[in-house]
Amino acid sequence: MSSTTSSIVGRVIDAQGNPVAGANVAITGGSQPHKDIGAMTNSDGVFRLGGMRPGSYDVMARKSTATGYAQVEVSAASPTDVEITLG
């Protein structure tokens, strides 16, 4: 049985396409069991969630009252890219 993991690498933007620094990003559901995996975006709105098993995940980004969601399919082959728009 393989224990291969990958990562979700993404960017959080606002409705105008500007990067959102300091947004909290977390896994909120999906097909794979997960523990509390989360990250905060850097000044370019970029985040990385590591240690992800292949499968589907629901990812939520939040800053203040603005939230955004994405459904992501992670494979073991390479990091999965995602962009989340806060609304």
64 vs 50: CA distance, rounded Å: 24
Domains of the chain by residue range: 6-77
Specify whether domain 6-77 bears CATH 2.60.40.10. Answer: yes
Nearest-5° Cα angle at 57, 32 to 1: 35
| Structure token digits, residue 3 | 């224990």
Strands 46-52 and 38-40: unpaired
39-87 pLDDT, tens digit per residue, is 999 999 999 998 888 899 999 999 999 999 999 999 987 899 999 999 9
Confidence of residue 1 (pLDDT cuts 50, 70, 90): very low
